Structure 1
Amino acid sequence: MRKLGTLLLVCMLILVVAGCGATRNNETNQQAATPAGETPSTPKTLKDVKVVLDWTPNTNHTGLYVAKDQGYYEAEGLNVEIIQPGAGGSDTMVASGAIPFGISYQEAVTQARIQGVPLVSIAAVIQHNTSGFAAPVDRNIKTPKAFEGKTYGGWGSPVEEAVMNSIMENDKGDVKKVKIVNMGEADYFTAVKRDIDFAWIFYAWTGVEAELRGEPLDMLYVKDYAKELDYYTPVIVTNEKQITDDPELVKAFMRATSKGYQYAIDKPEAAAAILSSSVPDLDKELVLASQKWLSPLYKDDAENWGEQKAEIWQGYSAWMYKHKLLDKPLEIESAYTNDFLPQAK
């Protein structure tokens, strides 16, 4: 036993000496690789930043995931975490300053500004409104007037009936002849098989999914029936305090995010693969098909991704005021800005 103990002690000493030698060799090599008078570089400290989504991850959000995956945020000194909204929603989290950035909608920002809530839209994710009323083709809803006598499934917002009324009036229809029910937590495909005839969807996700399912839709895009309804949905938002206290952070975040969406515009297949890898629970086939459909529409006819136009904000807010969805006209200058986009002068 004494001999065995001695042998173990010797072995341990050999390992320690060898380790010390390796450490000295590593230090020597590191010193040799570092020019005289300079110290070895240390990892760059990244600033932790959160961005909150408006809903579960989908191709509206691809640019964020690309920017994170491709190191665009890290190159700006940011460690970005993409999170899903809590019970209060993304607007509340951003407006309160709990989270610096989020995904919202022009409608929500407009209503928030009227109520004195300091949300500010800093980029349009999609240049034109890709939402509309969708119905299975067997319901024979080809025009807004055909909504009459049908059941609409919604989420209980007064905006829904106002939009429906607006486009039905132009088609000599009567919104009072539409039965409006709350869909609750049911998804579109479940609801139309159960108790509704049509609903308001984003075609890039639900419409493309219908294609993949072999369940063709009649899709009535709201922008095709009233130009005021071609508003920005979704948008990226921050709050006034964030802009005042740290405008450089907003610029850095938007530089990286813009690169992420430009990548998704240029490389839809690769961008779809990144989103699917980042959110494994998503249906890969749906993500790819949706991305191919949506990528050309991020920028569309705008000169640069993210740009917002005064006439869009003015037109939609005037429409909301006309339909008594706002208590007063919107001061559009405070609601949005292009100043933090990379191409801003």
Structure 2
Amino acid sequence: MYIYRTITKSLIVIAVALMASIGPSHAQELKTLTVALTWIPNVQFAGLWIAMDQGYFKEEGLKIKFIRGGPKTAPAAVSVAAGKAQIGYTHWLPFVDAVLRGNKFKLIAATYPQSPQGVISLAKKPILTAKDLLGSGILTPAPNAKIAVDATLRINGLNLNWKQIPAGFSPEPLIAGQGDGFIGFATNQVITMEKLGLKRNKDFYFTSFYDMGFPQFADGIFVQEAFLKSDRRVVVGFLRALARGWEKNMKNPAFAADLTIKNPAKDLGLNPAQQRRQNEIQIARMPKNPRDVLVLDRATISGPMYKAALATGRKALPEPSTIMDFDIMGEIQSGLAKK
């Protein structure tokens, strides 16, 4: 009996030791995914930061790294095409352009169904419709801003009678009277206007290009087609964790803003109040039902968004089903709903 007990105790000790040795190896076996962003780390990627912080990706067997976007950085499409990132963020027209250049990409999700880009104007000359753009001097901080104005006018059957005024990223030239409108974002320059003491819909107005008839999504998510085929389980795990991150963000906007400043953007000097306000605005622009978050709208993309791309002069667009996976997020959200 003594020998039996001794052997049993020895086996238990060995089993515990084996379990201890297995733990670290499993941690090392996490698959690393690199994500290329469209902009600098900030709260617009709230779902990503939360999923990283809360261990949602780890639960899917993933470890996430990211490549910053922003000024003087390579577009996410370049990073993904070169194999430096497996997941990339993109906007509608840049994604179309990347595909037309021959890249075998697949769009798998969209963070914001409606782009927050639009025109800021003052009360003395509100720009509320596409027709109001006619004859106006518009401050444009980036080259693609002109494309958006031209496309909006074309879609509405209007001539391109407007004046482009180069500008920086601050709307202050608009306040100084240097233009009739400023192309900015509801999640950025609109907040700047509010911080300057101006009241929206009284002192200034913001109208998105989407509301003026030029539909686009923002922060779509894409992968190489080959990667989706070979590692679909990994892609599903990434999106499932990300969806959980966005769902948590909707419940507590301040959490992601504070998390962003303390971790991924700790060296950027972002303003905490601005990040909280930005998160509130972007949450309001997302689907009301958390189960619809990240899901691609087949009808909108295949219809109005394709029409918008054609209005910009882009031609020979491939069939939507060849460059997008409309089913993957639906499958994931259905699974989450059952839990």
> TM (normalized to structure 1)?
0.79
Instruction: Give the gaps of 5 or more residues in structure 1.
Output: 1-30
Match of 1:257 among 242, 248, 251: 242
Q: Distance in 1 between matches of 2:290 and 2:306?
A: 21
- Compute the displacement of 1:102 (Å): 1.7
Match of 2:79 among 88, 93, 100: 93
CA offset digits 1:256-311 (Å, max 9, x no partner): 11111111112212222222222232110011111122224322368521111221
Show the 5 A alignment for 1:13-24: none
Aligned length: 306
Instruction: Give the gaps of 5 or more residues in structure 2.
Output: 1-8
**Paired position in structure 2 for 1:205:** 188
Aligned AA (2:77): D
Aligned AA (1:266): K
**Paired position in structure 1 for 2:153:** 165
**Paired position in structure 2 for 1:268:** 253
Aligned AA (1:311): A
- The change in CA–CA distance for 1:162 and 1:35 in structure 2 (over 3 A counts) is farther
Match of 2:170 among 183, 188, 192: 188
Q: Distance in 2 between matches of 1:105 and 1:330?
A: 17
* Structure whose alpha-carbon radius of gyration is higher: 1
CA contact (8 A) 1:144 1:167 kept: no
- Range 234-243 or range 199-208, more displaced: 199-208
Q: Distance in 2 between matches of 1:67 and 1:137?
A: 41
CA contact (8 A) 1:90 1:102 kept: yes
CA offset digits 1:147-171 (Å, max 9, x no partner): 33332222223622423413664xx
- Compute the displacement of 1:254 (Å): 1.1
CA contact (8 A) 1:58 1:205 kept: no
- The change in CA–CA distance for 1:164 and 1:324 in structure 2 (over 3 A counts) is closer
Match of 2:110 among 100, 121, 124: 124
Report the 3-state secondary structure (helix = DSSP H, G, I; strand = E; otherwise coil) of the residue aligned with 1:128: coil
**Paired position in structure 1 for 2:271:** 283
> TM (normalized to structure 2)?
0.80
**Paired position in structure 2 for 1:47:** 31
Percent identical among aligned pairs is 18
Report the 3-state secondary structure (helix = DSSP H, G, I; strand = E; otherwise coil) of the residue aligned with 1:134: strand
Q: Distance in 2 between matches of 1:70 and 1:160?
A: 38
Aligned AA (1:239): Q
Aligned AA (1:309): D
Report the 3-state secondary structure (helix = DSSP H, G, I; strand = E; otherwise coil) of the residue aligned with 2:210: helix
Show the 5 A alignment for 1:299-310: 299-300=287-288, 303-310=291-298
CA contact (8 A) 2:152 2:212 kept: no
CA offset digits 1:27-81 (Å, max 9, x no partner): xxxx99x665342422222222211110123332111111111111122222212
CA offset digits 1:207-234 (Å, max 9, x no partner): 12322322343111222232xx333212
